[in-house]
Amino acid sequence: MKEAGVFCFLDEIVELKRNESITAFYKLKGDEEFLKDHFGVFPVMPGVLLLEALKQAASRLLAFSGDSNRPFYRMVNAENVKFGQFVKPGTRLRIAASLMKEEKPFRPPSLEASERFYFFEGRIDCEKGRALQASFVLVPVGD
């Protein structure tokens, strides 16, 4: 799967419900560049990259749902972020994101309101339990 940027954290999508939810898997192989610095003799996937995995899954849901002609999204807010299990090389992650609501901000009629806010709940689980859960907001990137 192609993703913008250097890293793609979606190996396969196993369930996609248009405008509702997505479930995907990613296996941390152990040869990823970021593991060299995080943390040497105890390599684990950085928490910010777990959030990136959630963003990628949610972005894929929005792209497949056809709600926007822009395929890329950025995370503008993350709340109630809870980290759990360490994600070590060889770990298979189950990445799940659910679209809770979509909002278009109010703008006076003279201004075009093209930006939408997509509110998600997400979680990442592995065989030992929950690695991450978070509420987050995405907005489309570009025109």
Domain boundaries, the chain: 12-140
Phi, psi of 73 (to 5 degrees): -135, 155
pLDDT at res. 142: 72
Instruction: Give me 60's structure tokens.
Output: 């894929």
Q: What is the mean pLDDT of residues 24-52?
A: 94
pLDDT reading at 62 higher than 80: yes
Fold of 12-140: Thiol Ester Dehydrase; Chain A (3.10.129)
What is the model's pTM?
Answer: 0.89
Mean pLDDT score of the chain = 90
Active site residues: 38
Q: Which of 34-48, 73-87, 94-108 has the highest mean pLDDT?
A: 73-87
Q: How many CA atoms lie within 13 A of 22 on its CB side?
A: 24
Using CA atoms, how far apart are residues 101 and 82, in angstroms rounded to an integer? Answer: 21
pLDDT reading at 111 higher than 60: no
On whether the CB atoms of residues 51 and 96 are closer than 8 A, the answer is no
